[in-house]
């Protein structure tokens, strides 16, 4: 048995076989399309490579076994003109790499199979995706990895947001990253799902696929091929941990009112609409941040207005009258979306991202705004803009919202113009918060980016850990000022960055008069417990005319 130390990104205990993520994800935007001839040649060569891999695999499997039969089918697919010809056609049109063309055509065919009535044909859609990915990996020159298909502990150096959302939730028993940071989106998504997770497991060896790994994300330890005594010990830790969780469940239905009288809304951050059930199980009093970009990530084309509308309306109706803050698209930096065809940038965290993309592509932005306005007729929806640095951006968005409202009226579609708020996640917005507050209905402080931009510390870079102070006084001061300015202007102020669940800061946030703390669902009840037992005194109570 080998054991080691790591940092806890999400608490819990898990024991399962390892699924090692070898490639760093096919980052399509990094693969620049060459000439048509070059991409076609690369594609034909990739098909040959995939076929040789499959032949070697079949030879290594027991003849007539089910696994061998499935691989035989994959080998046939890797020669099927129905799958391959559309790729050749796409490449022939120019401007697309062999990798992107294979994934696009494969996904389209898989979708077609999924929509067929015959369950056998529907099930083939996963095989088509698998073969397409094998060929795409060969074209990209990265090692192919089959999809996660059984409950496992995911082990990787690090995970991109699109890789993390690409795994089926029911198969993720735990996550262990050799690197990673607390505020990276992989860690945030793990917390949203409540998956026991460790980061900075720097000593964890490679080549663990299939081995049993025990994750003790209560004490920050892991065990490779744990012995029976360790497993017994972990079971005891898990029993105690479960008991603590059970005690917290007794807080469901209670309002989070601090002994000083200050009331805080304890809300949930969610990525996908599927996470709302887990958030409700943890008694969220609303959703303080729905990261709408996860509707866009991990797919090959934009979600339609209808698709977005359905997703927002589903969450709003599940919340049954509780508020839902939908943050408009925040891609860019680590959240990649290849089909946006964004140019490669020297400093993507400071680049064309979030609202900047939306305002540069208003036609695209309006699809999202229209879907949010339509969903607002189905529940208590609020619209929130990320990465704001100026009042003009808010005004431009409001003008687009007006256009959407007029169009929807003319089309006879039901809609409501939702209240508009902004994230305070750039130092510029925090410094200007007194002015910005007059233009919007609420603020939500995004401490993950506020920290990164105020302290000039890349939130993705684990090497900066020694310089990273999670309670940096400059950031705390910006939060305080923002809260004061919000209440002076009579508007509501929340925090939706990861600092919102930091137990050391709860008292301070009560003092600052923060109205809402929005955290990963698994952390809501522990936060409520701290608020109910706080010794702090609120110094910045919300004015009585401020509603939300
Ligand atoms: C933040 O920056 O604090 C935030 C909540 O947004 P994200 O983590 O998605 O950038
Ligand atoms: Mg942010």
Contacts of 27 (CB under 8 A, 6+ apart): 160, 336, 338
Q: Which residue from 161, 287, 446 has its CB within 8 A of the most atoms of ligand 1, so it is best to mutate?
A: 446
Residue 146 pLDDT exceeds 80: no
Fold of 266-532: TIM Barrel (3.20.20)
Give the C-alpha distances (Å, rounded to integers) separating 327 from 97, 159, 269, 387: 32, 23, 11, 10
Same topology between domain 28-140 and domain 266-532: no
pLDDT band for 26, please (50, 70, 90 cuts).
low
* Centroid of ligand 1 to alpha carbon of 240 (angstroms): 32
Predicted pLDDT of residue 545: 80
Nearest alpha-carbon partner for 340 in 309, 319, 361: 361
Which ligand gives the minimal distance to the CA of 446?
Answer: 1
- Write down the pLDDT at residue 29: 53
What is the model's pLDDT at position 119?
Answer: 81
pLDDT for 25 beyond 60: no
- For residue range 369-404, list pLDDT tens digits in order: 999 999 999 999 999 999 999 999 999 999 999 999
Task: Identify the residue whose C-alpha is closest to ligand 1 atom 8.
Answer: 448
Ligand in closest contact with the CA of 269: 1
The pLDDT of residue 160 is above 60: yes
Among protein residues, the one with the nearest Cα to ligand 1's atom 6 is 446
Q: If you ran DSSP here, which 8-state letter would residue 204 be given?
A: -
The DSSP H or E segment spanning 353 is none
The tens digit of pLDDT for each residue in 12-24 reads 999 999 999 876 5
Return the bridge partners of 59, or none. Answer: none
Per-residue pLDDT tens digits for 325-357: 999 999 988 888 888 988 888 899 999 999 999
Q: Of 20, 42, 22, whose CA–CA distance to 31 is shortest?
A: 42
- Of 337, 373, 404, 496, the catalytic one is 496
123 or 23, higher pLDDT: 123
- Tell me the percentage of the chain whose pLDDT exceeds 70: 99
- The torsion angles phi and psi of 214, rounded to 5 degrees, stand at -105, 130
472 part of the active site: no
Does pLDDT of 84 surpass 80?
yes
Q: 509: which 2 tokens?
A: 């946030």
Instruction: Identify the burial level of 367 via C-beta atoms within 10 angstroms of its C-beta, where 0-12 means exposed, 13-18 middle and 19 or more buried.
Output: buried
462: pLDDT strictly greater than 90: no
Inform me whether the pLDDT recorded for 75 exceeds 70.
yes
The span from the first CA to the last CA of the chain, in angstroms, equals 54
Cβ–ligand 1 contact at 497 (below 6 Å): yes
What is the Å distance from ligand 2's center to 360 Cα?
19
Ligand nearest to the Cα of 388, by number:
2
496 lines ligand 1 (CB under 6 A): yes
Ligand 1 mean position to 192 CA, how many Å? Answer: 13
More confident residue, 146 or 244: 244
Laid out side by side, the sheet with 221-224 consists of 2-5, 221-224, 212-217, 12-20, 152-156, 172-177, 197-199, 7-10
213: its two tokens: 């790994």
Q: Which CATH number fits domain 2-22+146-227: 3.40.1190.20, 3.50.30.10, 3.40.50.11740, 3.40.50.150?
A: 3.50.30.10
Listed range (124-133, 149-158, 474-483) with the worst mean pLDDT = 124-133
Is the alpha carbon torsion for 123, 124, 130, 132 positive or negative? negative
| Ligand 1 centroid from CA 177, angstroms | 20
DSSP class of residue 366 equals H
pLDDT at residue 32, as a whole number: 78
Q: What is the pLDDT of residue 142?
A: 81
Q: In which band, very low, low, confident or very high, does the pLDDT at 27 lie, cut at 50, 70 and 90?
A: low
Q: CB of 288 closer than 6 A to ligand 1?
A: no
- According to DSSP, the residues that pair with 519 across neighbouring strands are 268
61 pLDDT exceeds 90?
no
The encoded tokens of residue 350 equal 């400071």
CA distances from 219 to 379, 475, 529 (A): 41, 29, 21
Nearest CA to ligand 1 atom 3: 446
pLDDT of residue 69: 86
Average pLDDT of the chain to the nearest whole number: 93
Length of the chain: 548
Question: From the CB of 447, is ligand 1 less than 6 Å away?
Answer: yes
The confidence score (pLDDT) of residue 149 equals: 83
Q: What global pTM score does this model have?
A: 0.81
Cα of 502 from ligand 1 centre, angstroms: 15
Rounded distance, CA 447 to CA 453, Å? Answer: 10
Strand partners, 174: 153
What are the residue boundaries of the structural domains of the chain, listed by start?
2-22+146-227, 28-140, 266-532
pLDDT on residue 30: 63
Quickly name the fold that domain 28-140 has: Enzyme I; Chain A, domain 2 (1.10.274)
Is 185 a known active-site residue? yes
Any alpha helices (H) in 320-361, and if so which ranges? Answer: 355-360
Q: Do 320 and 380 form a contact (C-beta atoms < 8 A)?
A: no
Report which ligand 1 atom has the smallest distance to the Cα of 425: 2
Q: What is the pLDDT of residue 127?
A: 85
State the pLDDT at residue 185.
85
* Nearest atom (ligand 1) to Cα of 497: 3
Q: Which ligand is nearest to the CA of 184?
A: 1
Give, as one character, the DSSP assignment of residue 17. Answer: E
C-alpha dist (Å) from residue 426 to 353, 354, 383, 456? 13, 12, 18, 11
- 169-201 pLDDT per residue, tens: 899 999 999 998 888 888 998 998 999 999 999
Which residue, 369, 355, 499, is CA-closest to 429? 355
Please state, for a pLDDT cut of 90, what percent of the chain lies above it: 76
Separation in Å, CA 46 to CA 5, 101, 140, 285: 40, 12, 9, 51
Is there an atom of ligand 1 within 6 Å of 446 CB?
yes
Measured between alpha carbons, how far is 248 from 527 in angstroms, rounded to an integer? 10
Catalytic choice (74, 179, 185, 529): 185
Distances (CA, A) of 129 to 22, 47, 57, 509: 18, 14, 18, 47
Residue 536's pLDDT is 97
Residue 342's pLDDT is what? Answer: 86
Distance from the alpha carbon of residue 386 to the mean position of ligand 2, in angstroms: 7
In this prediction, residues 283-312 reach a mean pLDDT of 94
Q: What is the average per-residue pLDDT within 100-110?
A: 91
């Amino acid at each position: 048995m080998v054991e080691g130390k790591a940092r806890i990104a999400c608490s819990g205990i898990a024991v399962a076989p390892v699924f090692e993520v070898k490639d760093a994800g096919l980052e399509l935007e990094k693969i620049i399309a060459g000439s048509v001839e070059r991409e076609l040649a690369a594609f034909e060569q990739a098909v040959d490579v995939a076929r040789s891999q499959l032949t070697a695999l079949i030879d290594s499997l027991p003849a007539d076994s089910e696994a061998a039969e499935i691989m035989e089918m994959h080998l046939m697919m890797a020669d099927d003109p129905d799958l391959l010809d559309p790729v050749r056609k796409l490449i022939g049109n120019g401007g697309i790499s062999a990798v992107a063309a294979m994934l696009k055509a494969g996904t389209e065919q898989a979708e077609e199979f999924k929509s067929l009535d015959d369950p056998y044909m529907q099930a083939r859609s996963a095989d088509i995706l698998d073969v397409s990915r094998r060929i795409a990996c060969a074209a990209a020159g990265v090692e192919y990895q089959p999809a996660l298909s059984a409950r496992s502990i995911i082990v990787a150096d690090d995970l991109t947001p699109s890789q993390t959302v690409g795994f089926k939730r029911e198969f993720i028993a735990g996550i262990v990253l050799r690197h990673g940071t607390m505020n990276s989106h992989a860690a945030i998504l793990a917390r949203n799902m409540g998956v026991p997770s460790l980061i900075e497991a720097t000593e964890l060896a490679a080549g663990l696929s299939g081995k049993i790994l025990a994750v003790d994300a209560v004490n920050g330890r892991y065990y490779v091929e744990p012995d029976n005594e360790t497993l017994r010990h972990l079971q005891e830790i898990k029993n105690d941990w479960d008991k603590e969780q059970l005690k917290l469940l007794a807080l469901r239905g209670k309002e989070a009112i601090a002994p000083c009288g200050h009331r805080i809304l304890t809300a949930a951050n969610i990525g996908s609409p599927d996470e709302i059930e887990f958030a409700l199980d943890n008694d969220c009093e609303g959703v303080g941040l729905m990261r709408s970009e996860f509707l866009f990530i991990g797919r090959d084309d934009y979600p339609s207005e209808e698709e977005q509308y359905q997703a927002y309306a589903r969450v709003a109706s599940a919340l049954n009258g509780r508020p839902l803050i939908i943050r408009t698209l925040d891609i860019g930096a680590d959240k990649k979306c290849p089909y946006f065809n964004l140019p490669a940038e020297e400093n993507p965290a400071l680049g064309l991202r979030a609202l900047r993309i939306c305002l540069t592509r208003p036609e695209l932005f309006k699809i999202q705004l229209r879907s949010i306005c339509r969903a607002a007729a189905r529940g208590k929806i609020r619209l929130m803009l990320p990465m704001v640095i100026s009042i003009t951006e808010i005004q431009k968005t409001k003008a687009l919202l007006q256009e959407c409202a007029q169009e929807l009226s003319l089309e006879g579609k039901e809609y409501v113009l939702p209240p508009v708020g902004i994230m305070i996640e750039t130092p510029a917005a925090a410094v200007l918060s007194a002015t910005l507050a007059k233009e919007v209905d609420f603020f939500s402080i995004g401490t993950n980016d506020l920290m990164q931009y105020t302290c000039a510390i890349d939130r993705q870079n684990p090497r900066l850990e020694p310089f990273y102070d999670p309670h940096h006084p400059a950031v705390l001061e910006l939060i305080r000022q923002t809260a004061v300015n919000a209440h002076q202007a009579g508007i509501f102020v929340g925090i939706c960055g990861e600092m919102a669940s930091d137990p050391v800061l709860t008292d301070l946030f009560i003092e600052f008069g923060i109205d809402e703390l929005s955290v990963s669902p698994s952390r809501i009840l522990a936060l409520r417990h701290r608020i109910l037992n706080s010794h702090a005194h609120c110094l910045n109570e919300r004015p009585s005319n401020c509603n939300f």
